[in-house]
Each structure stands twice: as C-alpha cells, then as structure tokens.
Chains A and B, each alone.
Chain A
Amino acid sequence: MKIKRRDFLKLSAAGGAAVALTKGKSLNAFAMSKRGAIKGESPGEWKASTCQGCTTWCPVEVFVQDGRAVKVRGNRYSKQNDGNCCPRGHLALQQVYDPDRIKVPMKRTNPKKGRGVDPKFVPISWDEALNTIADQMMELRNNDESEKYALMRGRYTYLRDVLYEIMTKVYGSPNNISHSSMCAEAEKFGVYYTEGQWAYRDYDLDKTKYVLIWGCDPVASNRMIPATIKRLGDAADRGSLAVVDPRYTTSAAKANEWLPVDPGSDGAVACAIAHVMLTEGLWYKPFVGDFKDGKNRFQAGHNVNETDFAEKESYGIVKWWNLVVKDMTPAKAAKLAGVDADQIKRIARGMAKAAPNVCVWMGPGCAMQARGAYNGMAVHALAGLTGGVDNEGGSMQTAKIPVNKAPKAYKEYLDDVAKKKTKYKKIDQRGYLNSPALKKGKSGGGVTTNNAATGILNKDPMEIKMIVGYMNNFVFANNGTEKWEKALESVPFIVHLTSHASEFSMYSDIILPCRINLFERIGFVKTKANGYATCSLNLNTVEPVFRALNEETEFPWLIGEKLKERGFPNLIECLRDVYPDPETGKKATNSMEFTEYALKYYTKKMWDGKEDVGGDKINGWAEMKKRGMWNSDHYEYRKHWGGHFKTETKKFEFYSETLKKALSGHAEKHNTSVDKVLEACNYTARGELAFVPHYEEPMRHGSRREYPFVFIDYKSRLNREGRSANNPWYYEFKHVDPGDVGEQDTLRLNPGDARKLGIRDGDRVRITSTGGSGYSVARLWEGVKPGTVSKSFGQGHWAYGRTAAAEFGKKERGINNNTIIPWELERLSGSNPRNGGHTLVKIEKA
C-alpha cells in the first residue's frame, strides 16, 4: 500500500487551521462517501459460482453480504449435489480471506535461487511487473528462442484455452505443460484401453446393487463427493458395498467387505475376481456373450478355444482368459496381494449376483503406480464382465455438454516462427521411447508432467529460459521434489501466477496475485455426477480484497498489450478479434471485458436459445449468470452398446486391440519392438501379455531389508487440492480423516508393527526412503495393513503461509509425501505414481 496523496503527509496544525482536514483533502486511504453517512448493513444475497476444491467441481452458491463472502452451499439448481457441498466449500472461506495471500505484484531482489534461499520479494507496480515479463518474452523472440518459454498449468477452468493454448502458440512455443498426469491419467488409461473412454466415469448410485470401490474413498475425495455422501448409504442398504484398498477408509468402514491389498498388487486380485466369475459361469452374458453350446469351458489352468465362444458387446474374453485369467486363481492372487482368497470369491459372486447393476468404482490408488496401467485395465475389465459398463446401476460416460471449442481462427495469428516452433518436441519428452504417454492411443498424446523436470535439467529437447506457472506448485506436488528444486534453480526467469505464494514462488522472479476460484475467479467447468452433465460457471461473487487477476484471460490480454508496444501485436490482435461479444459482435477493449466475452463465447449454446441442446432451458446470459449452471438431460444408458464403444473393435476390449495399435505405433516410431518399449517403460510383460489386463509385480524403490514398509499416500477430505494447507481449520479438523489426529502430520502405523519398533502412539518418528526423509507423528491404528504405513498428502510445506510452514523457507510443518516418494513415472500414460506404492520406507523413533 503506497501513499498516494502527498497532502496526507502535510501537517494540518502547521497552518493553524483545522479546516483542510474536514474537506478530505488530506485523506489517503479514504474518500468522502458520495452517499453520505450510512448505517446498518445490506441484507445479502446468494450468488452462484463453482467450487474447485476437488475435481467434483461442484456448482455452488456463496452468501455475500456487504461485499464479503460469509457462507457456501451447493447450487440449488444442481442435479448433481442437490444443493449441498462437502467440507471443502466451507473451508474455502479461510482460503479467500487468508492474510498470507499475495496482495500485490512482487519481484525477487535476491538473484540466487535455491531451497532455503530467501527471494527477498518487494512490491512493484502492475506496470513494472508486466513490462518486465514482456521484455523477457521479447528478448527470447528476438533471439529466435521463443521455444525456450514454457507455460506450466495447474488448476484451470476451461478458459484455459487462452493462456495455455493460444498465448503459448501465438507467441511461438511448443511448451504448454499441464498438470493432468499428476492426477489420474493411468486410471483413464485403464478405461480407455478397455472401454474406449479417456475420462473419469460417473456412477449410477441410485440404481446400483453392488458398489466395488477400488483405490479411493468417494465420500472423501474423487469426483462426485456430495452426491456420494448422500447416496452411498442407501446403495449399501439396497445391495452390497466392497472396498479394495490397503487403508481402512470411511467407505471401508461402512462396507460389507474390506480387502486390504498390498499396494500395487491390484491387478492380481482383479484378475482373480474375473477367474471366479468365469470358472463359475457368473459373467454377465447379455454383455460378454457365452459359449456357443452354453457349456462353460473356463476351467482353471486350461486354455479355451476362441471359436467356441460368441461375444456380444465385448472382444477378447477368451484371449484374456488364455493369457492371464486361467492361471490367476484366488489362492494365487491371495498370496500375491496378501489378502484372503475366500474374500475374493465372495466379492466375485456378490458382483455377479447383482449384475448388471454393478458400479466398479476405480480410483487412482490402483492405477497411479509405477506399473499401474495394467491394474487400471484389470479393475475396469470387471465392469465389462458384470455388464455394468455404460449401464443402469453401473458406470456411465457422460452426456454431452454443448460448450464451444477454442475458435480455430486463432491459428491465423501464428507467424512463421510460431508455426515452426509449435511443432518442436515438448520439454516433458512425451513420445520419447521411454515416455509413450499414450493418451487416446497416440504416442506422446498426453502429458508427462513430472518428466518436465528431467527435460529442464538435461536441456533436452531444449533449454528452458522462461517459465510462466499458473495455479501450480510443481516443486511440491510432484514426487521427487529435489529434482524439481534443481530444475527450477536452473531456469533464469520464472513468473508465478497464483493466489498464494508457495515453494514454486521461491524460484520465481515475478509473482502476480490471482483470483481464488469459488469466490473471485471467472471461468467455467464441465463436470458430471449422478447421471447429469453440467456446465458450471466460476463467477466473481465478491471482488478480491486486493487486486488480483483472472490469469487465464487477463494475463494474456495484458501481456498482449505490452508485446504490441514492443512490436509483436499478434497476441492482442488475436484475442481481440477471435473472441468478440457473441451477442453484439463488439470487440473487447480491456481485460475484464475480454474475460466476459470469452466466457459468453464458450457457453452461449446453453443460454442463447438458438439451438435445442437439451437440458435446462435458460433464457439469456443474465439468467445464465444468475443461475450459474446448466444441467443436461439424464444420461442415456447403453448408448455405446451395439458396437459403439470408441475402441478399435467398437466393443469393450478384454484383449485391447486399441492398446496393441498404440504400442505398436509407438514402437514403429522408434524403430523397435513393443517388448523393447515395455522394457524401457519398466514393465515386465512381453509378447501378447502387453495387450491384456494382467498382474505386474509392483516396482519398489529400495530393499525390504533396509526399508521394510510400503508407503501409501492418500488425499484428505480437507485437501482443497493442495491449497488448504494454510487454513487453520485444516489442522483443527484433520481428525475427520479416519485414523488421523488434529494439529499434526500423522503417520499411521499398524499397532503390531509399531510394537516391534518400540513406537508408541504420539511418538515423533523419522520416515526415510531412498528419496528423502522427514519427521511425522506416529498414530497406531488398526486401519493400516501390517507392512504398510499411510500418510495424508498436504502438509510439509517449507514455503507457504504462516500456518502451513513451520519456519518460512527453512523448516517444514510435517513432511511432504512427495519428498518421501522418490521421483518416478508410470510411463505408458505419463502419470505420476503418486499413491506411493513404489516407495519403501523405514520408520524410526526420533
């Protein structure tokens, strides 16, 4: 806050007259109100927006009084959450009014970068900040080095197109790097290479009779939390609930079966469930088909002749049986996964009895492992066996959300430099032999976020000289944090667009304050739950206390203006021209107008009444903003049956011709074999096994002798992604995660294991892996499988706010799980194996 009126510093008493004071001339922080004296307070109103505290992306409403947000609830019109939100929405109030938010643009004054090095930030004007950034960008362009600019994306809205796509490409860089593979790409891999859908699923809890939850706790995290909180109990009453997870979750506590698998061994259990269903003739025949003569030939250990079986909606069941399932008996899987064989049988029979109304609810826990891609396929294959795919009471894809795509016309603003350089390889090395990232079947089709650190350090495929990161904290949120610390240290100029300074900001040269979603940020999201697809608007229900950017639109606009001043007008002209107001055709004249026009452009089909897109009928933009959301019609079941799955065979694939094509294509690109690709990607499968769901021995870093426990990472129900770590309520209420304790960073150990180590409840313990070590507080709890320890992600910040870090820049509060988890990748999908299964640790009393 600067003194803006020099008169403020002048003495009134000096002239012997008090008059000047009363006319407001010497005021600085105040102005005389034009309305005169005002008493009382305004009644307040509910305003619509979207919570992005997790990836449910709930339509919500905020109660606003006198310009201040005071309460949050679900959007009354939502058919997903029925007007309710989970604790994250309420917790967000401490986030928007966090005193440690970034309040002004700042620049570092200490050129040295590194962990524990104070950047010594000082405030600067918006103009100085934007000029500095534009100068750096122009220098790169003038030196023919625009490819050395990288955009790193964290939490986005779908206005991301502008900053992530258009700005990066028009400027002339291939390096727009998203955070997607830190989340659940391996899970999507499992679904894509069986069902042909690269997306999360929706689940029909209202009609299900059996819910198999695998590697997540959907009442606490995952993608339809309020809907699940409301419905899971009823679903369990109606049918059965089984949970496969090495930790005892809230869902597990309510389940009929809890199957605590050893981390990473999920593929064995899934294949064994399939084994039981097939050998006992329990598969859902209207989906999978049957033996031509009706006689079940699936006998353990025996091959079956493919021609004896006639499939319906699926492809390759017999191939899968012959390659994998025939030998994966419950007894064998029980041994591999450390579970009870009878439980495997009970779950298989229970699911079969409820078929097809079965939800196979796969979470990231089983798939986000170093060899997790095939686990994801194996678990999702069970949805196929039970016919619960795209079906009533099962898993669903999504109804169409009629938003517009990025205007193609932006490509006309790419000059020759941009056209050439946007085709360069990306810094995350996607598509390299050992980094296939096979999103939607394409070699290098997806991002390998964690590998960007490798690319930066090795200057391969190029050196990176400038990074703009937005709403991200890659140096904290990726496993193997030390590698990221070194990578960021090596980059000469970094800009961080964020609401809260974080570890990423420690390496930044300029930080710009951004708006917080739910309350201030403008954008829109697409989401689905409970059978409905939704477009939900992020709206500025309150104005930011301190000036802050809608970074996805305002930053490109403001930088575009600055680049034009420096002789590069393409960006600002592009934005102005391709996003006119869809109602009037008027071109934007400033960054906020541009933001509104862009939002209108993307969402217009849902409110302009020109086309029947189904779902809610909304009369105009004003009504759309007031409601804040649009619901689709209910999901249409079995739309993909009858040969409409988006796989190579158009069927649900137990033998994935789709993966075969993708892997073969990748191998051909590198002039090698699929076996060599798998070897480079740390998988053990060879030959035909590469194309079917199967068990892979879990990769572990370290020896069991030295590091006897498997470390499991999980997400707290209070994690607003990674952004609630500075909220005091986060610590006060941490005990809402089963087995956790408030006000501490808890490591949960099985009491039997703890006894052997001489560790008691509440002892301070040191956790050490091959990647790093840190301190936590032991909690002895039976809900942890012996031989494993578990800890919630979120704590361990060393540079965040006052609440989150023990001592700024130097000492963590707790320990970051990603420091314990060594750097690793699941390479077929490009994912972070974030759930920790590859991490062996030792625990010592400190």
Chain B
Amino acid sequence: MDTITRKQKLSDSYKLMAACFYEPEPALFTEEKVFQNLSRLITDLCPEAEINTEDMQQALQKDNDVDLQVAHAELFIGPFELKASPYGSTYLEQGRRLMGDTTMEVLKHYRKAGLEIDVEQPPDHIAIELEFVSHLYGLEAQALQDSDKEKASDLAQQRQIFIQTYVRPWMPAFINNVRSGTEHAFYRSLADCFEKFVRHMEGLEKPPAN
C-alpha cells in the first residue's frame, strides 16, 4: 500500500469510527455499507480488530432499533447520567464539566484548520474529534498527492499534537466506560474494536515535539 492510499484509508477509518458514536441508524448504515467498509479498512490497517467489526454488523442486524437507541442514549446522551461521557473535558479536567479549558483548546485547533462546528455539541465530542483527525489525514493525503511535503509534514505534526494532547489521554477511561456501561452487543463490540483501533493508531503516531 502506498503512503497516499494509506493516509486515505486512515482518514476513512477514523471517519467511520466517528460514525459509530452517532445516533444509530441501522438502515442508513446498511445502505452505505458502513460495516463492510469498516471491516475492509480494519483488515488492511488493524487486522486484530476485524472480528469486532463483524460482531458489530451482526449485532446491528439482530437487535431491534429501539434497544439499540436506548443503549446509545444511556451511554452517550442521558438523560439522567452519561454512562460513557463522549466529551473530552469530562476526563481531562477536574469537576466533570463540559466546555472546559481543554474544550476551548480543541476548538482552537479546529479554527486554526479553517473549520467551524456545524452541530449543537461541545467541540470535544468523541465523534467530532475523530472526524477532525480524519480530516487532517485527508488533507495530508492530498498534500502528498500534490507533492507538497512541507504541508504534509505540518499536517502530520498538527494531527500528532492533537491526538496526543486531546484524544489519547482519555481514551482508556472512555472505552472502559462504554464497556462497563452497556450489555448491548453492538456497543460491547464497538468498545473492543475501538480499543484495538486506538491502540494500533497510537503505534503510528510519534510523540509530539515537546
């Protein structure tokens, strides 16, 4: 696999992992072959997580939509308590609150990249952060395609800093919360898959300078 294709696939896999944390829409996911695509990408990039994507697909087909929605809500929406808060600041800062200082730092990264948030959510929602990483990988692939090595290098560094500072530190606790917060097969499998994915991706990232 050449570097550009690899970066594109990384971009795609981050994007589809992000999609898994949105409200579940089995019909849409089936139509868009989300899990087949994710399986293919994972097989290429992170073979140890392949079995989990298959489990996710099976769970989605087997269970009824309401149970899936309830499980998603209990983990990531509430209304009573977030069993697995999807917001970075609730892990990275004291006081378990949204819109913390780290949230605003995350927002600065987005703004610096010329992006603005287009959903009613705090910027450090897991799905938004993963999409941002996907976006940076995509830009890097394009820069490489354009033979702009300097830009590609800048983007890689930007991505590494973002992941190391704002994503990686809360992943273990988040994944544990997902796993312990539900009995639903889809989300149990997602936790397993995402954990392997995160671990694998960490191996690809160099520690940031300073």
Contact = CB atoms under 8 A, between A and B. Distances in A.
Interface in B85-120: 85, 87, 90, 95-100, 103-104, 107-108, 110-120
B111 A29 contact: no
B132 interface: yes
Given A1-B23, A12-B8, A546 B120 contact: yes
A589 interface: no
Contact of A805 (B81, B117, B127, B145): B81
Interface stretch (A15-23, A298-306, A383-391): A15-23
B114 A29 contact: no
A729 B95 CA distance: 7
A19 B144 CA distance: 12
B104 A66 contact: yes
Given A33-B116, A93-B97, A109 B8 contact: no
Please indicate which of the listed interface residues A2, A3, A801 has the most CB atoms of chain B within 10 Å of its own CB.
Answer: A3
A81 to B, nearest CB: 25
Interface string A3-44: 110101111111010110110001111111100111111000
A432 interface: no
Closest 4 CB pairs of A and B: A21-B138, A802-B81, A501-B79, A13-B8
B117 A30 contact: yes
Given A8-B15, A38-B111, A30 B131 contact: yes
Contacts of A41: 104, 108
Please indicate which of the listed interface residues A4, A97, A802 has the most CB atoms of chain B within 10 Å of its own CB.
Answer: A97
A245 to B, nearest CB: 33
Interface string A511-551: 10000000000000000000000000000000011110000
Interface stretch (A100-108, A130-138, A487-495): A100-108
Main secondary structure of the interface of A (DSSP, over half): loop
Nearest to A110: B70
B205 interface: no
Given A27-B118, A802-B81, A18 B125 contact: no
Contacts of A10: 32
Contact of A39 (B5, B112, B139): B112
A690 interface: no
Contact of B112 (A37, A98, A123, A545): A37
Given A14-B37, A66-B104, 18 more contacts: A1-B127, A8-B131, A9-B29, A9-B34, A12-B12, A16-B5, A21-B135, A27-B118, A28-B19, A32-B115, A37-B114, A40-B108, A68-B103, A94-B97, A120-B70, A122-B66, A505-B80, A802-B82
A460 B207 CA distance: 70
B28 to A, nearest CB: 7
Interface of A: 1-4, 6, 8-14, 16, 18-19, 21-22, 26-33, 36-41, 66, 68, 93-94, 97-104, 106, 109, 120-123, 501, 505, 511, 544-547, 728-729, 799-803, 805, 808-809
A799 B114 contact: no
22 contacts: A3-B28, A8-B15, A9-B19, A9-B34, A18-B11, A19-B142, A27-B135, A28-B131, A30-B116, A30-B131, A36-B114, A40-B108, A66-B104, A97-B98, A100-B78, A100-B82, A103-B78, A121-B73, A511-B79, A801-B81, A802-B81, A808-B81
Given A21-B138, A32-B115, A505 B79 contact: yes
B77 interface: yes
Contacts of A3: 19, 22-23, 25, 28
Contact of A99 (B18, B85, B145): B85
Contact of A30 (B32, B34, B99, B115): B115
B117 to A, nearest CB: 6
Main secondary structure of the interface of B (DSSP, over half): helix
Contacts of B116: 30-33
B19 A31 contact: no
B128 interface: yes
A101 B82 CA distance: 9
B49 interface: no
Please indicate which of the listed interface residues B41, B96, B125 has the most CB atoms of chain A within 10 Å of its own CB.
Answer: B96
Contact of B32 (A2, A6, A39, A101): A6
Interface in B55-90: 66, 69-70, 73, 77-82, 85, 87, 90
Contacts of B15: 8-9, 26
Contacts of A547: 120
Contacts of B128: 29-30
B141 A18 contact: yes
Given A1-B121, A2-B23, A13-B9, A122 B70 contact: yes
B142 A123 contact: no
A8 B20 CA distance: 12
B46 interface: no
A728 B112 contact: no
Contacts of A100: 78-82
B28 A99 contact: no
A273 to B, nearest CB: 47
Nearest to B100: A97
B69 A122 contact: yes
B80 A545 contact: no
B64 to A, nearest CB: 10
Contact of A545 (B85, B98, B135): B98
Contacts of A27: 115, 118, 131, 135
Contacts of B100: 97
